[in-house]
Amino acid sequence: MSTAAQITTPVADAGTRARIRHARISPSAAFRKFWPLVRVNRVAVLASALLLVVSAGCDTAAIGIVGVLTDDVLAPGDLGAFWGPAALWLGLAAAGAVASSAGSYLAGWTSEHFLLGLRDRVFQHLQQLPPDSLDRYGTGDLVSRLTGDIEAVETLVASAPVELITSAVGALVFAVAAFWTSWQLALITLVLAPVIWIGARVFGTLMRTATRAERDSNGRLATVLEESLANMPLVQAYGRQQAERSKLHREGRTWMRAGLRQIRLHSLYGPLGELIETLTVLAVLGAGAWQISEHHLSVGGLLSFAAYLGYLHPRLQELGELLVNASSATAASERLLEVLRTRPVAEPELRPDAPPLAEPVRGAVTFQGVGFCYPGSSRTVLHQVDLDIAPGLLVAVTGPSGAGKSTFGKLLLRFHEPSQGRILLDGRDISELDVDELRRHITLLPQDSMLFDGTVRDNIIYGRPDASEEEVLAAAAAADAHEFISGLAEGYDTPVGKRGGQLSGGQRRRIALARAMLRTAPVLILDEPSTGLDDASTARIMAPLRRLTTGRTTFLITHDLRLTAQADLVLHLAEGAVTVVVPGPQSEAAVEAA
């Protein structure tokens, strides 16, 4: 098992999402959730912390030499006593520099590996979620979680342990050195340390709430931007620019207010710490002057103590800021845990002796008492569906919008599990099959001809990266795409642009057909293949579609009654029930009547 897979979280469905969204977890709980991704590099974490502690020790020793130089060299004016302490100081500075550099690099190395591992883990989980689950978040918000939120969690889980060890040990070392120099002055310094700690706790709680509001607002703002930019042609055509600007401005103001609340808290916390430090320094100087006058402390000792104090207070401030930042980072942790709690497709507990599907897979599909309701909804989409589809049949799935036509494809691909009953492929319950194995035998041609920002060839071989050049050309020819591809500037190496923007709708559809043909899976799902195409383009893809469906069990989801005439069976869906129609001379009328 990979380390990434060791992060476990309770699952939740859509109905509990609102409750989870406003949940609050402690920094320690968030740390425990994500610590497994750092644990694999714990040697580097400990080494970096040790090196940074060594650097702090070198600084402490160097400060002690300042007092020696003041009392033994500067006060008596003895130049001969200078060289020994000076050489030792230089050696300590060099050792401290090497330790600090190596420790900082190891800490950064650990942080970057954590970012990589966590982003991979969250993205892998997103890939396992049903598409409907992803729609609840919005693309912009998910991008925000995969970037800004992950970086915030890194400060809590990967950077914080090193900083905590370094700051705590550094504070301890400088505190011991300060007590060694003058315990009376050290007590004055440390009496105000609890004030710093209490202030950090209070500000940490406030910062966690403020940061959660800012991260949520940032996600909504990203979603608004992504949606508006993606639909810009419609926005311009309908003259809705002002409405979109107003929507963006509202979200921007909400984000600004959340950000200002964070800034307000930071602007109060920093000066408060500086005020406490100033009070401490004044108290130390006053008490130190008295000790010097009473010959209890030398000038060099006071200088050394002041230097220790100058190093100690930043360490105490760092510990307080760690608490504030940890509380702030838990807001990002909560947003990532919301995603990780979203229920993926349930993987079966495969028995070691469970055989895979017998090859070759014929494509026989059986529905046995299948019912389905979407999570969080009481409306029945399918009710007690019983079907026995022989291999190689072309089955048209029709019905009014919202009747559940696309649900057939989603259930077959296990984007959702049936609420009741079961679905068999070649006599095997698909819920008992590995999801990847199941989907290897099913090809989906979605309603939107989804293309990636690559070349024509990249998009054709997307489902079979190991396909030969001859197979690519044959698939393109079968999809009636080879001719127009050959006429492009770079042929099969022509970039198609983002989402295939450099091609027409018909060209995108034929490339998608070529991709489906190359996959050669025994079960095929065609989701509204003629949507968005004019009569000429629809007529042009009819022959490739017939070639694509030959010898495959095909579910043709369509409103186009011209396509149903090609089917062996027509399934008409209405109010959760399925009516089976055998096409004949009056097939279109029969479907309409059903």
179-208: pLDDT as tens digits = 776 667 666 666 666 666 666 667 666 776
- Lowest mean pLDDT of 4-13, 104-113, 246-255, name the range: 4-13
| Inter-axis angle of helices 160-181 and 183-190, nearest 10 | 140
Residue 1 forms part of a structural domain: no
At 551, the amino acid letter reads G
Span 340-357, average pLDDT: 66
The reply to whether 244 and 110 lie within a common domain is yes
Q: What is the CATH number of the domain that holds 229?
A: 1.20.1560.10
256 in helix, strand or coil? helix
The reply to whether 430 and 371 lie within a common domain is yes
Residue 188 forms part of a structural domain: yes
Which of 520, 541, 564 represents a domain boundary (last residue)? 520
Is there a contact between 34 and 157 (Cβ–Cβ < 8 Å)? yes
Grade residue 36 by pLDDT with cuts at 50, 70 and 90.
confident
The reply to whether 376 and 512 lie within a common domain is no
Which of 497, 520, 543 represents a domain boundary (last residue)? 520
The reply to whether 159 and 275 lie within a common domain is yes
- Report if pTM > 0.75: no
Is there a contact between 321 and 285 (Cβ–Cβ < 8 Å)? no
Span 504-524, average pLDDT: 84
pLDDT at 593 over 60: no
pLDDT at 325 over 50: yes
Is there a contact between 63 and 311 (Cβ–Cβ < 8 Å)? yes
At 302, the amino acid letter reads L
Residue 4 forms part of a structural domain: no
Q: How many CA atoms lie within 13 A of 269 on its CB side?
A: 27
The reply to whether 365 and 403 lie within a common domain is yes
How far, CA to CA in Å, does 1 sit from each of 6, 16, 97, 513, 527?
Answer: 8, 29, 40, 37, 37
Residue 70 forms part of a structural domain: yes
Q: What is the pLDDT of residue 298?
A: 63
Task: Give CA–CA dist 60/115, Å, rounded.
Answer: 34
Task: Give CA–CA dist 407/410, Å, rounded.
Answer: 5
Which of 464, 486, 520 represents a domain boundary (last residue)? 520
DSSP element (H, E) containing 175: helix 160-181
Q: What is the CATH number of the domain that holds 487?
A: 3.40.50.300
pLDDT at 407 over 80: yes
DSSP secondary structure code for residue 432 in this structure: G
Residue 447 forms part of a structural domain: no
Is there a contact between 397 and 574 (Cβ–Cβ < 8 Å)? no
Query: The tokens of 222 are what?
Result: 């990203």
The reply to whether 381 and 286 lie within a common domain is no
C-alpha torsion 136→137→140→142, nearest 10: -130
Is there a contact between 512 and 449 (Cβ–Cβ < 8 Å)? yes
In SS3 terms, 183-233 reads as: HHHHHHHHCCHHHHHHHHHHHHHHHHHHHHHHHHHHHHHHHHHHHHHHCHH
Selected residue with higher pLDDT from 518 and 202: 518
Q: How are beta strands 420-425 and 365-373 bridged, if at all?
A: antiparallel
The reply to whether 76 and 119 lie within a common domain is yes
Q: How many domains does the chain divide into?
A: 3
Q: In what order do the strands lie in the sheet with 523-527?
A: 442-445, 523-527, 553-557, 394-398, 569-574, 577-581
Selected residue with higher pLDDT from 486 and 231: 486
Task: Give CA–CA dist 311/60, Å, rounded.
Answer: 9
- Residue 108 neighbours by CB under 8 Å, 6+ apart: none
The reply to whether 42 and 143 lie within a common domain is yes
Gyration radius of the chain over CA positions: 34
Residue 349 forms part of a structural domain: no
The dihedral through the CA atoms of 516, 519, 520, 525 has a sign that is negative
Task: Give CA–CA dist 478/307, Å, rounded.
Answer: 80
The reply to whether 155 and 82 lie within a common domain is yes
Q: What is the pLDDT of residue 208?
A: 67
The reply to whether 300 and 427 lie within a common domain is no
Span 333-358, average pLDDT: 71
Task: Give CA–CA dist 516/522, Å, rounded.
Answer: 11
Q: What is the pLDDT of residue 264?
A: 77
pLDDT at 590 over 80: no
Residue 346 forms part of a structural domain: no
Q: What is the pLDDT of residue 571?
A: 86
pLDDT at 349 over 60: no
Grade residue 12 by pLDDT with cuts at 50, 70 and 90.
very low
Q: What is the pLDDT of residue 71?
A: 65
Q: State which residues form the domain around 145.
A: 9-341
Question: pLDDT tens for residues 428-486?
Answer: 888 888 888 888 888 888 877 778 888 889 888 888 888 889 888 888 888 888 888 88
In the chain, the largest separation of any two C-alpha atoms, in whole Å, equals 118
The reply to whether 211 and 275 lie within a common domain is yes
How far, CA to CA in Å, does 541 sit from each of 290, 369, 397, 486?
Answer: 97, 35, 19, 18
Is there a contact between 153 and 334 (Cβ–Cβ < 8 Å)? no
At 161, the amino acid letter reads P
Residue 79 forms part of a structural domain: yes
Q: Nearest 5°: phi and psi at 555?
A: -105, 110
For tokens 């049936």, what's the residue?
Answer: 418
Q: Is 149 exposed, middle or buried (0-12, 13-18, 19+ CB in 10 A)?
A: buried
The reply to whether 516 and 530 lie within a common domain is no
Query: The tokens of 72 are what?
Result: 């033994």
